Amino acid sequence: PPDVEQLGRSSWTLLHSIAAQYPQRPSPTIQRETSTFMRTFAKLYPCWTCAEDFQNWLAVDANAPRVSSRDEFGRWMCEAHNAVNVKLGKEKFNCDRWEERWRTGWKD
Ligand code: FAD
């Protein structure tokens, strides 16, 4: 399999970028497709132990993808990433700043 760290950085870039361009008012179809995409992504992620843990995290009701708006989805993605950060002993990211990091650029 590819290098787990490089794969992770590239994958988070893709996922947060998708959230950053997500519609502010997504149609019901897009919302459904986005939830399905995240669950399929979790199954196909090419680091098997990572994929298994991420699928288990997603299976908890409270962690179901929140896809009703860009802000909801962006925050949900940030929380998903933080769950992995905590597992790996990394610092948690402040999810109030997800959009600054991934869409609008830092203000300072
Ligand atoms: P990364 O965690 O890759 O983050 C990249 C950048 O995103 C950071 O520099 C920061 O600017 C920003 N960022 C950080 N946290 C957040 C956040 N919460 N919200 C928004 N932006 C943020 N690795 C393993 O070793 N074991 C695993 O089980 C594992 N599971 C993974 C599961 C998934 C679904 C994914 C996508 C990756 C997984 N990884 C796993 C990889 C791991 O998350 C990191 O990508 C990798 O360790 C490299 O870390 P990094 O410190 O370079 O920054």
pLDDT digits (tens, 9 = 90+) for 17-56: 999 999 999 999 999 999 999 999 999 999 999 999 999 9
| pLDDT of res. 2 | 66
Q: Contact at 8 Å (CB) between 81 and 75? A: no
- The contacts of residue 91 (CB under 8 Å, 6+ apart) are 85
Q: Are 67 and 26 in contact (CB under 8 A)?
A: yes
| Alpha helices in 21-106, H assignment, sequence order | 28-44, 48-59, 70-87, 98-99
H-run or E-run covering 4: helix 4-20
Question: Is the predicted pLDDT of residue 1 greater than 90, yes or no?
Answer: no
Give the Å distance between the CA of 45 and the centre of ligand 1. Answer: 13
Each residue's pLDDT tens digit, 45-103: 999 999 999 999 999 999 999 999 999 999 999 999 999 999 999 999 999 999 999 99
ipTM: 0.99
Cα–ligand 1 centroid distance for 8 (angstroms): 5
User: Does 104 have pLDDT greater than 90?
Assistant: no
Closest atom, ligand 1, to C-alpha of 45: 34
Residue 5 has pLDDT above 80, yes or no: yes
Binding site membership of 50 for ligand 1 (Cβ less than 6 Å)? yes
pTM value is 0.97
